[in-house]
Amino acid sequence: MPRKRIFSDEERRKRHCEASRKYREANLEKVTAYNKQWKIDNWEYYREYNREYLRRWRQNKKAGRVQV
């Protein structure tokens, strides 16, 4: 029986990204429906996230930094 291959963190990340991309392509309708439902179920998270994002954006704008 062959030994199980050990992947580095970078290799694991690349493989996961590729597998995720293929899954999303193959199941676009299912993924879209899931994402919409997740946003509805977790609207509090988005409210908090947007508040923090805007706070940082205003802070950077006041400091005169241009973020790329």
pTM (two decimals): 0.55
Residue 5 lies inside a defined structural domain of this protein = no
Copy the structure tokens of residue 27: 């199941």
Task: Count other Cβ atoms within 10 Å, centred on residue 31.
Answer: 14
User: What is the domain count for the chain?
Assistant: 1
| Residue 16 placed within a domain | yes
Q: Is residue 55 part of a domain?
A: yes
Report yes or no on 3 lying in a domain. no
17 pLDDT exceeds 90?
Answer: yes
Contact predicate 24/31, CB 8 Å: yes
**Strand boundaries in 1-68, DSSP class E:** none
Per-residue pLDDT tens digits for 23-64: 999 999 999 999 999 999 999 988 998 999 999 999 999 887
Does residue 2 fall inside a structural domain? no
Name the residue range of residue 55's domain. 10-67
Question: Does any domain span residue 4?
Answer: no
Residue 1 is assigned to a structural domain of this protein = no
